[in-house]
Chains A and B, each alone.
Chain A
């Protein structure tokens, strides 16, 4: 059974800092991994999707990497801004299975 964990559970940084969020999964036979952000009371917004054959994906200030062999993914946010404050969730999908979500990392970027 796939299990997904995220460290840290919460993070507070000053504006402008570069930061890394971590996602770990127990079953490395994944089909893909997707990073989302969620603002309070809202749905999830897709940030980056990494297929199992890929090592990383980039979008603007965001870069996500995937290391299947170690069961880890990282989301790198460059030059953080107050608008980046949200909860970040990673979700993993194995072949023929549904997505399994991590508990999220609550990020606060202080002006």
Chain B
């Protein structure tokens, strides 16, 4: 059974650009959540989607947005990139909203120059 798949694995972007990250959850998982991980702030919650609806949102500026498709795949978009957006972006899925166990992908390493 395939795990959570995130693409691409690495990205290098310039300040002011925008970027889209993709996450395919484990088959049958309907909830997808996104996290940002940095050395200084640790793992911080961005948002969670369930059945194409955003169910929860963390404390990030509006430049960070996401969406979920009918096949549960999710994308995260960051516009007007800043140097501080450099981080490992992790996606996690759960089977249904009530199933608590999170399963993570290997992440996308974003570097903003």
Contacts and interface: CB of A to CB of B under 8 A. Distances in A.
B66 interface: no
B48 interface: yes
Interface residues of A, number: 23
Contacts of A34: 100-102
B112 interface: no
Interface in A5-38: 31-32, 34, 36
A32 B102 CA distance: 11
Contact of A99 (B42, B45, B107): B45
Contacts of B102: 34, 44, 46, 91, 99
**DSSP majority for the B interface?**
strand
A104 B33 contact: no
A102 B7 CA distance: 26
**DSSP majority for the A interface?**
strand
Interface residues of B, number: 23
A45 B104 contact: yes
Contacts of B35: 101
A43 B107 CA distance: 6
B45 A98 contact: yes
B25 to A, nearest CB: 13
Given A91-B43, A99-B33, A101-B42, 8 more contacts: A31-B100, A42-B106, A43-B6, A43-B106, A43-B107, A46-B101, A98-B48, A101-B44
Interface of B: 4, 6, 33, 35, 42-45, 48, 56, 58, 88, 90, 92, 100-107, 109
Task: In the A-B complex, list the 4 residue pairs whose CB atoms are closest, starting with the nearest.
Answer: A101-B43, A43-B104, A44-B104, A43-B106
